[in-house]
Amino acid sequence: MERAGIPTALLCNLTSIAERVGAPRIVPTRGIPYPTGDPTLAPEAERAWRRRLVERALQAVATAVHTPTVFPADEAEAELSEVAGD
pLDDT digits (tens, 9 = 90+) for 14-33: 999 999 999 999 999 988 88
Question: Distance between CA 32 and CA 62 in Å, rounded?
Answer: 26
Global pTM exceeds 0.95: no
Q: Confirm whether 76 is domain-assigned.
A: yes
Using a 10 angstrom Cβ sphere, with 0-12 exposed, 13-18 middle and 19 or more buried, the burial of residue 71 is buried
Domain count, the chain: 1
Mean pLDDT throughout 30-53?
Answer: 89
Q: What share of the chain has pLDDT > 90, as a percent?
A: 64
pLDDT range class, residue 9, cuts 50, 70, 90: very high
Q: Confirm whether 45 is domain-assigned.
A: yes
Q: Confirm whether 5 is domain-assigned.
A: no
Domain with 14, as residue range(s), is 10-84
